Structure 1
């Protein structure tokens, strides 16, 4: 036990089971840095003997910690801490309804990876060996020209590779010169807004919609115009009726973020018709259209654009991994010169070495094979979460919304539950769920029937039914334990 410097104060009189008390103490030690990554924890037999409890009690605690990624079993080599070294989060006391909630930016997680975190692809399934060989080869072939200032618009090989990919998979043709490489989605928005927006311009925003998009347009002096989202996507007739003279519309037509609905063809055509008449710009955020559970991905809105009013934004963060910090934007021919002229003010932060590596990853076919594998894997992992949610929560408490694709799950809560409070409590317990109401453009009161009330969960890194079950049981405890949520037999 000398290698496991933790003190345990187990109280059989507490309502919390002994295995949960052990689980909480070990988890706290890992999150506070007392137990380092790679350090070995005692065997089940040794710790049970030390604490004077049944072996099954330790097994249950270790199983829960393993399912959540804090521990890893290495067979005869024992069980070790597997959480990243950087994992560090304070342990909070329970928060009650009367406590004032702190403002929170749900887009900024405290650590690199938490259960249910949105926007995080299946990192365990990325072909790291292939990627490492490509990056190593690019490094070995670096010449003097590669050491100078990189192209402001992005390296040519990647722009050509993206153009070929878009023609094959997203249904539209563009010249490489129309493609600008940026350091992620936020720099894409910065480039578009900095080049085209005049303070005071109106912008249609999906409500609910991505908070980062809302924040960026507000900061630039735009006038946000909330447009409701229904089962057909952004309500274009409502937008035309209430805000006909907007200059921009930002949409996620493939899988609306966050509800997951697909914009209907009639709404797409109405949006394009409005943009042509008003000479407005449509920003198509195609953040995860590659992931569709049934059939092939739908064609992009850009593929229907005959008047060149759509600005198409894509990213490699969701389809490869976020650390790349690489996105791109495809602009209409009429904007190429203007956008190119503004690139000198907004230098691309993605290193040329990574841009060249992404291009090779695409051109060698690895990108397409990875996408095909992920479509199958995500359908499976989404099934794990849906099945666990259905087993733990009665439908009158939590109901999973129908979705045809995407890498996050949207649920609806009983009106008596407060999604913002639940999300706060969950974050304090290490679960990175988000409240649907935090994604509103037009803030509504708690008792407003139009206020969205649900929680959002990422599922790509849920690797087994057991892990999904453990996580959902933890969420069930947060929602009120046996008083509200009862596990189904």
Structure 2
């Protein structure tokens, strides 16, 4: 059966005096060689193309015949015409006019000038704004990451163990049960049943007194940080950052024009007393209270109370990023910092990207009541809402008990893998890497001998097929301890041991020049 036209080709206007057939041939050939029409792409039917561009069908047939004779098109009667899988040549540029040459030279010069000044520019020489230059320093890879994970990719849940078939069945059933209202705009704040489920979860597991009205659904914790910076920071305002601390937060706050107060951390978490000395009138503090990123300790009760006292005294906002607290292997579960917040100063953030799988791209914020309205309004302005079908599927997955069972299974599995990493460290890393106790999370820091270049160690490990992250990349103002962040949750015990042996060989060669 003949299919309707699948593409509508955009063609430049025909210059005055140029014959129709020459114009159409040139435009289609250029589209093929530019890659706008990819190998194997189906062209519109000749009748449809003639009607769309107001030329005779005979003209189109003549152009198609010429392109086919030259090897650009293939096809058969009844099947249509397709771009050839192998093209006969590369595009041969015609000599530019003087005006074109001048414009091209100017664009190259502008691009060169902006690159020399540290800017990122397109071929058109369009420079970035000052904020754009800061935003372009992303802490994240812009390309997707390989599957399955390799040792020792940080922040990576086990995707092989995720019940994908069950998720697919829930999604299919949820789709069949949906009505047309699910095709309309969703609430900017998020799908109400999912917000109810999240509120119930954090009330029980994190000790947070809240309702669904306090919960907002977002695409990521990064989005919470970005909106919070736009809503509650003016250029020049100061933000407390843990040092070392999460670079994704620091870069966003700097892009918003904030001054960063690098507050040291120790075995009790962020040093609130030091923060008060450095920047007593800061507008915002970003903390990873449950498990400090990247060093791991939880924020002590004494410092939690001190942090809340400071926020209350100075009318400051605290963002609590609780990125993987569900996976705790030792000790009692910790209540969130927000559970102690009686004055409405803490925004609590959680994510399903690490709890379930990264591609889900659903996270949430639990907001003080007086901050909900501006946050949701800003969410509506900047991104409208998270896709409704994914929210509905996630709600069903939670409501039917699948999410809870999966997390319990993974907590046990990740605990076994933490043990496997400890055993691998004992066998292979003596004198090379020191691994502290692992009590929670998807990854752990391991410390190199003092003075070691951990960025070099990470690069050499990558060349050997090992993924890791240097602790120095988390440094804000002070030098972080030399070390590597090692993910263990996404790989099995055998891969952990094999990766540990490979990493040991890399470090032996680096440290002892063997």
Q: Is the 8 A contact 2:286 2:318 kept in 1?
A: yes
- The SS at the match of 2:354 is coil
- Tell me whether 1:204 sits opposite 2:232 in the alignment: no
CA distance in 1, matches of 2:441, 2:510: 32
- The SS at the match of 2:262 is strand
Out of 334, 341, 346, the residue aligned to residue 298 of structure 1 is: 334
Q: Is the 8 A contact 1:154 1:348 kept in 2?
A: no
- Tell me whether 1:282 sits opposite 2:321 in the alignment: no
- Tell me whether 1:479 sits opposite 2:507 in the alignment: yes
How far off is 1:106 after superposition? Answer: 6.0
- Tell me whether 1:270 sits opposite 2:293 in the alignment: no
TM-score (norm 1): 0.74
What's 1:80 paired with?
none
Out of 259, 272, 296, the residue aligned to residue 223 of structure 1 is: 259
Out of 345, 348, 361, the residue aligned to residue 325 of structure 1 is: 361
- The SS at the match of 1:181 is strand
How far off is 1:145 after superposition? Answer: 1.1
Out of 426, 451, 459, the residue aligned to residue 461 of structure 2 is: 426
Matches within 5 A, 1:174-193: 174-193=210-229
Count of aligned positions: 376
- Tell me whether 1:152 sits opposite 2:188 in the alignment: yes
Q: Is the 8 A contact 2:150 2:491 kept in 1?
A: no
CA distance in 2, matches of 1:483, 1:178: 52
TM-score (norm 2): 0.70
- The SS at the match of 2:434 is strand
- Tell me whether 1:252 sits opposite 2:299 in the alignment: no
CA distance in 2, matches of 1:294, 1:372: 14
Out of 366, 372, 389, the residue aligned to residue 425 of structure 2 is: 389
**For residues 257 and 461 of structure 1, do their structure 2 counterparts lie closer, same or farther at Cα, with a shift above 3 Å needed?**
same
CA distance in 1, matches of 2:511, 2:281: 51
Out of 491, 506, 509, the residue aligned to residue 462 of structure 1 is: 491
Structure 1: state its 5+ residue gaps: 1-102, 445-450
Structure 2: state its 5+ residue gaps: 1-135
- The SS at the match of 1:125 is coil
How far off is 1:317 after superposition? Answer: 0.5
How far off is 1:175 after superposition? Answer: 2.1
Q: Is the 8 A contact 2:421 2:488 kept in 1?
A: yes
Matches within 5 A, 1:13-162: 107-108=140-141, 111-112=145-146, 113-162=149-198
CA distance in 1, matches of 2:244, 2:511: 30
**For residues 243 and 182 of structure 1, do their structure 2 counterparts lie closer, same or farther at Cα, with a shift above 3 Å needed?**
same
CA distance in 2, matches of 1:348, 1:397: 50
CA deviation map 1:332-388 (0-9, x unaligned) = 011122112222222256321110111111112222222211111111001111211
**For residues 483 and 335 of structure 1, do their structure 2 counterparts lie closer, same or farther at Cα, with a shift above 3 Å needed?**
closer
What's 1:77 paired with?
none
Q: Is the 8 A contact 1:182 1:348 kept in 2?
A: no
How far off is 1:142 after superposition? Answer: 2.3
CA distance in 2, matches of 1:388, 1:341: 50
**For residues 105 and 430 of structure 1, do their structure 2 counterparts lie closer, same or farther at Cα, with a shift above 3 Å needed?**
farther
**For residues 348 and 431 of structure 1, do their structure 2 counterparts lie closer, same or farther at Cα, with a shift above 3 Å needed?**
farther
CA distance in 1, matches of 2:460, 2:139: 13
Q: Is the 8 A contact 1:479 1:485 kept in 2?
A: no
Q: Work out which structure has the larger RCO, using CA pairs closer than 8 Å and 6 or more positions apart in sequence.
A: 1
What's 2:438 paired with?
403
- Tell me whether 1:369 sits opposite 2:405 in the alignment: yes
**Aligned-pair Cα RMSD in Å:** 2.0
How far off is 1:417 after superposition? Answer: 2.1
**For residues 131 and 349 of structure 1, do their structure 2 counterparts lie closer, same or farther at Cα, with a shift above 3 Å needed?**
same
- Tell me whether 1:439 sits opposite 2:474 in the alignment: yes
CA deviation map 1:267-292 (0-9, x unaligned) = 10000110000010000001111111
What's 2:103 paired with?
none
CA distance in 1, matches of 2:510, 2:307: 47
Q: Is the 8 A contact 1:121 1:461 kept in 2?
A: yes
CA distance in 1, matches of 2:429, 2:356: 33
How far off is 1:443 after superposition? Answer: 5.2
CA distance in 1, matches of 2:463, 2:262: 30
